[in-house]
Structures are given as structure tokens and as C-alpha cells.
């Protein structure tokens, strides 16, 4: 349960970082963050 909450917080932070990178038009960073987001979402589903 504690790890799930940690991952949800991490996911929220990644979403903010993705939005910031999109505003800066740094699409390499967006792609990297999207990859991390998918990994975190998988971990949340597994818990």
C-alpha cells in the first residue's frame, strides 16, 4: 500500500515534468518521461 502511494506521487510529478518539457518544446525529454510514466503505471497495476 505504501509503495502504491509512492508510485502515485511519482506519477503526478512525472505528469508535471512532462507538461513543463512540452512547454519548453524539449521532445527528447518528453519521450524519456513518457517511458518512465508507462513503467510507473505498470507498477501501480501490479500492486
Buried b (16+ CB within 10 A) or exposed e, 15-41: eebbeebeeeeeeeebeebeeebeebe
Mean pLDDT of the chain: 95
pLDDT digits (tens, 9 = 90+) for 9-30: 999 999 999 999 999 999 999 9
On the question of pLDDT at 4 being above 80, the answer is: yes
Segment 2-9 shows an average pLDDT of 92
Cell numbers for 41, please give them: 503505471
Percent of the chain with pLDDT strictly greater than 90: 85
Q: Supply the pLDDT for residue 2.
A: 87
Amino acid at each position: 500500500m505504501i509503495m502504491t502511494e509512492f508510485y502515485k506521487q511519482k506519477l503526478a510529478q512525472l505528469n508535471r515534468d512532462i507538461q513543463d518539457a512540452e512547454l519548453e518544446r524539449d521532445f527528447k525529454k518528453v519521450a524519456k518521461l513518457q517511458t518512465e510514466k508507462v513503467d510507473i503505471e505498470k507498477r501501480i497495476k501490479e500492486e
